[in-house]
Amino acid sequence: MSFINYASREINCKIVYYGPGLCGKTTNLQYVYQKTAPEAKGKMISLATETERTLFFDFLPLALGEIRGFKTRFHLYTVPGQVFYDASRKLILKGVDGVVFVADSQEERMDANIESLENLRFNLKEQGYDLDRLPYVVQYNKRDLPGVLPVEELRQELNPTGVPDFEACAATGEGVFETLKAVAKLILIDLKKGR
């Protein structure tokens, strides 16, 4: 649920990075944080375990610039990917404006990808959202690893509706901004329609 403040001329949108454990959601945000000019970002907050697994969420506020005199802010969140943190995932999805599904391209993570995507759909539905009507993009991450599944195969399983999708290596940043830009654009287009 975007928040339009006519008084301070600001618009705030919430983007959630979803995906199985260790697929690289936090790494995506870390890269965006590293590469964004200081004046365009706030502090990145990571509520993580001692082993750097996301426990509740990561949060990164971006203030990218103005459109038509309105300051446009995006609040980026990641969910904890580990299966047993489902209650937390549901909370983070509240008020979401756009979703990035980060898939792990490794063959042995395919089942985890599928399970996480079903979980996303289910949790959204529980809150009255329909993934097919939400600004939504898919990222195939860890393309740098040897022996990953071909994109075609991933696409067939994880992106049957053909939303914008991107290959990425979040560790080096490849594909990270392309992904973010794509979902941001879909959100703004959605706003333009005025819902």
Which residues of the chain form contacts with Mg ion (CB under 5 A)?
A: 25-26, 54
Among the listed ranges 16-24, 130-138, 176-184, 187-195, the one in contact with ligand GTP (CB under 6 A) is 16-24
Q: Residue 64 in 3-state DSSP?
A: strand
Q: Give me 32's structure tokens.
A: 């965006």
Nearest distance from residue 27's CB to ligand GTP, in Å?
Answer: 3
Q: Report the C-alpha gap between 69 and 10 in whole angstroms.
A: 9
46 touches other proteins (CB under 8 A): no
Q: Residue 139 in 3-state DSSP?
A: strand
Residue 181: name the closest of 131, 151, 137, 142 by CA.
137
> Would strands 98-104 and 136-141 be described as parallel, antiparallel, or unpaired?
parallel
Q: Residue 131 in 3-state DSSP?
A: helix
The residues in 63-92 that bind ligand GTP, with binding defined as CB under 6 A, are: 78, 80-82
Q: CA torsion angle for 101, 102, 107, 113 (degrees, to 10)?
A: -40
68 touches other proteins (CB under 8 A): yes
Nearest distance from residue 153's CB to other proteins, in Å?
Answer: 30
- Of 14, 25, 89, 109, the residue at the interface with ligand GTP (CB under 6 A) is 25
Tell me if 25 sits within 8 A of 19, measured CB to CB: yes
131 touches other proteins (CB under 8 A): no
- Of 38, 128, 147, 160, the residue at the interface with other proteins (CB under 8 A) is 128
DSSP codes, 116-169: HHHHHHHHHHHTT--GGGS-EEEEEE-TTSTTPPPHHHHHHHH-TT---EEE-B
123 touches ligand GTP (CB under 6 A): no
Please give the residue ranges that form the binding site for other proteins (CB under 8 A): 1-8, 11-12, 14, 42-43, 45, 47, 56-57, 59, 61, 64-65, 67-70, 72, 75, 87-88, 90-91, 94-95, 127-129, 133, 177, 181, 184-185, 188-189, 191-192, 194-195
Q: Give contact residues for ligand GTP (rule: CB under 6 A).
A: 19, 21-27, 53-54, 78, 80-82, 141-142, 144-145, 169-171
